[in-house]
Structure 1
Amino acid sequence: MTTAECVYEQTVDGFGTVRIVRVDPDRDAELLHGWVSEDRARFWGMRETTVDDVREIYAHLDSLTTHHGYLVHRDGEPVALFQTYEPEADRVSECYEARPGDIGVHLLIAPADTPRRGFSSHLLGVLTRFALSGGRDRIVAEPDAANDKAIALLVRNGFEPGPEVVLPEVVLPEVHIAEKRARLLFFTR
């Protein structure tokens, strides 16, 4: 990995150095497929995809100026997939009144052989700082309404619960995203 690929880096005492790099669809498709195809990632909505599907999905995401995919590393090891997006350019804008300075996020933490206490909170703290960099004021997250674990993690880390909504289905030639019942959560600077 070259330094030029890194878009954000932070060292956290007692946790390690977190580096955020843009997803490279060719380089990262196999790794990401391994993560999104597991049962624990069912809320991510990509369990039935192939490696080629994952490569195509992230190549499409990479072509957009409003949505971005990042591979998150801790001390050189990939530990999460993080996505940011402009809410006005996403289906979530049909469910709440997006404000200037809002940024949307999705987070998939990689499977861990041995879960570490505080790992997710430390990681989320770094990702929150990254998302708010560049003059952002508020983060919107919209995990699946049935994903109690993700909702609890976000609330423990300062996100305020918003309404439960139904994100509409998206059907485009290059993308199909199923309708989803989601819980909106907000983190304000």
Structure 2
Amino acid sequence: MPPTDASTDAGTVPATERAADFATDTGPRSGPGSGSGASTDSEDTLDLRLPDELIALFAGEAGTRGGATGDVTAGDMGDVSGGDIGDVSGQARGERPRTAENPAVVPADDLLDRVGGWGPTGTPVGVFHLVPVRVERDLTLIARWMNDPAVAAFWELAGPESVAEAHLRRQLEGDGRSVPCLGMLDGTPMSYWEIYRADLDLLARHYPARPHDTGIHLLIGGVANRGRGLGSTLLRAVADHVLDKRPSCARVVAEPDLRNTPSVSAFLSAGFRFSAEVDLPDKRAALMVRDRALRDLL
């Protein structure tokens, strides 16, 4: 957003930031598609068993098509590179499908262990809180951030508010595998996040995904908050928060553009390790991984 817009930057906490462009490169512009991924290190190689949730979602969709079978394509899943998650379950919006193991319909956010209830977490720069987006409350602010040229270059959501609104509603009205959030630092909105199930995302086609892998997209909204290390501090805090609140999740992943060296460096400073180079439809990405087993070492 323009640096003269005091309504966005006012009240944020001064902190250290590593690179001005860091937070603008973690968004979903260049997300998963049909390209082939690069080989990964042996540490990440294992038998790729589809998670039960994904099998249930596919089964639900097949049922709504009269029992037709076939591959689930990118068109079925939606364009997750732009956050277009879509409702592929065949159930009512905002609900998970009924299965033998899941006879009752549960809220969609259960796919991410109820992000909205995670609560605040302490960080070296203040108290940070992920608050799920409400379109009627947050659209104007998020659209303003998306129209910042530095952000628009990676997220490609510049334009009238309707562009950002469509992006948000596709997640909010989908099956719950991605939750858009405002990042509140000491009560002030200063960043936009998407917490998503990487193992249920098309990204999983491009790396050896494990059940409950959780992905992060991030942008820092205010220009004054960029270039001082704030992104690295919050990335570490949020990744650890995910691991604390999702006991079934062993890894937090991200896929910044490989060309954005400051972004990759920021993830490394936040305790992520570089796992592989991954070919996505419109970028070559650095697959960054924060492991539960290594969180106290990195």
Instruction: Please indicate, yes or no, whether the TM-score normalized by the shorter chain is above 0.5.
Output: yes
RMSD: 2.0
Alignment counterpart, residue 220 of structure 2, candidates 109, 131, 141:
109
Q: Which residue of structure 2 aligns with residue 176 of structure 1?
A: none
Residue-by-residue CA offset, 1:114-157 (whole Å, 9 max, x unaligned): 65844223212221122222212101101122222211100111
Q: CA separation in 2, counterparts of 1:95 and 1:20?
A: 28
1:26 touches 1:55 (CA, 8 Å); kept in 2?
A: no
Taking structure 1 as the reference length, the TM-score comes to: 0.82
Q: CA separation in 2, counterparts of 1:156 and 1:22?
A: 26
Q: CA separation in 2, counterparts of 1:44 and 1:8?
A: 29
In structure 2, runs of 5+ residues without a counterpart are 1-115, 293-298
Q: Which residue of structure 1 aligns with residue 246 of structure 2?
A: 134
Q: Which residue of structure 2 aligns with residue 173 of structure 1?
A: none
Alignment counterpart, residue 287 of structure 2, candidates 181, 184, 187:
184
Percent identical among aligned pairs is: 27
Residue-by-residue CA offset, 1:142-173 (whole Å, 9 max, x unaligned): 112222221110011111112222224xxxxx
Whether 1:19 and 2:129 are equivalent positions in the alignment is yes
Whether 1:29 and 2:29 are equivalent positions in the alignment is no
Whether 1:120 and 2:226 are equivalent positions in the alignment is no
Matches within 5 A, 1:1-189: 7-13=118-124, 15-64=125-174, 65-113=176-224, 117-132=228-243, 133-135=245-247, 136-168=249-281, 179-189=282-292
Structure of greater Rg: 2
- What amino acid is aligned across from residue 82 of structure 1 in structure 2? W
Taking structure 2 as the reference length, the TM-score comes to: 0.54
- What amino acid is aligned across from residue 143 of structure 1 in structure 2? P
1:43 touches 1:147 (CA, 8 Å); kept in 2?
A: no
Alpha-carbon distance, 1:43 to partner: 4.8
Q: CA separation in 2, counterparts of 1:85 and 1:35?
A: 21
- What amino acid is aligned across from residue 151 of structure 1 in structure 2? V
Residues 59/155 of structure 1: CA separation in 2 closer, same or farther (3 Å cut) = same
In structure 1, runs of 5+ residues without a counterpart are 169-178
Further displaced range: 118-127 or 102-111: 118-127
Q: Which has the higher contact order (CA 8 A, sep 6+)?
A: 2
1:38 touches 1:47 (CA, 8 Å); kept in 2?
A: no
Q: CA separation in 2, counterparts of 1:7 and 1:38?
A: 29
Local SS of the residue matching 1:72: strand
Local SS of the residue matching 1:8: coil
1:82 touches 1:106 (CA, 8 Å); kept in 2?
A: yes
Local SS of the residue matching 2:258: coil
Residues 47/55 of structure 1: CA separation in 2 closer, same or farther (3 Å cut) = closer
